[in-house]
Homo-oligomer: A and B are copies of this chain.
């Protein structure tokens, strides 16, 4: 199946929710930034030169000698996709919103299971990312590392013995690596402890962002925590460091949920069951309300208040509830109100199916 065929389906590997601690660690992501030697960074290239970069990368991806390392990646130029299809890639976290600017010069290669994607001509010539379910930073890094090694059999990377990998933005110089986890911290939020946790995280050189990366509001109690530093530490150190901090936050989140469930059991059950009841019954649902209700329900699944519904369904619905997905499924433009009605119908039907 081509990217064009698969883009409308909200089924990426990370959504399966079968990774370790996936009830709280929704996903782990590792990406590295790479640039080709002797070619200016993407923002300095005209369309023709950009396409030369894409051609080089296509060749590297299709290098059969490296295919065991790289896996089955399929490269698509963004210009081949409709605006809706491009947005769907963003909603599935396979590309960054930045890749939509001047998209004619850009491309993306995606593995069949959508766990690996390689952005071409974003801020750097290559951004290799791996996205897995649960706390699997090490595993994600190993996959990225293999793909990186495989591509390097063909490509010449810009690398300095002193600085490491050279990148368009100095904050990526060194390992060129960004590792992140998406955490569902609703217990810490309800108990008003989240501010303190984030304050501590900041002191450790980590950043917290909302669901869709930098500059967006924290929706549905999902927070992305990532490293800021790419220089002076090895990739393994970065991954180990973030893994260990994530484990600490996990412990705090579990403790806050447990105490909530002991001290305010009826309050929590009420909150969870109301969310469930509204999701299964509402006829109009805004994206914001749906996200808030998913968060409450996710808490209920984690606390085993709600059985019979799996986090996987919430991961899928969270992606499918986005405007682009709804329009793709409807096969037509939708007004804001039509979108809210379509979203409610979709969610209700999915829960009905899941309960059968």
Contact = CB atoms under 8 A, between A and B. Distances in A.
Interface of A: 266-267, 269-270, 273-274, 276-278, 280-284, 337, 341, 344
Contacts of A284: 266-267, 270
Contact of A277 (B267, B270, B278, B337): B278
Contact of A270 (B270, B276, B344): B344
Contacts of A276: 281
A210 to B, nearest CB: 27
A280 B270 CA distance: 11
Nearest to A340: B266
A45 to B, nearest CB: 49
When all copies of this chain in the complex are counted, the total is 2
A266 B283 contact: yes
B278 A282 contact: no
Contacts of A337: 266
A278 B274 contact: yes
23 contacts: A266-B283, A266-B284, A266-B337, A266-B341, A267-B284, A269-B283, A270-B282, A270-B283, A270-B284, A270-B344, A273-B281, A273-B282, A273-B283, A274-B278, A274-B281, A274-B282, A276-B281, A277-B277, A277-B278, A277-B280, A277-B281, A277-B282, A278-B278
A195 to B, nearest CB: 27
Nearest to A270: B283
A270 B276 CA distance: 15
Nearest to A345: B266
A138 to B, nearest CB: 40
Contacts of A341: 266
A85 to B, nearest CB: 29
A201 to B, nearest CB: 33
A337 B265 CA distance: 13
Q: By CB atoms of chain B within 10 A, which of A267, A273, A282 has the most?
A: A273
A280 B277 CA distance: 7
Nearest to A275: B281
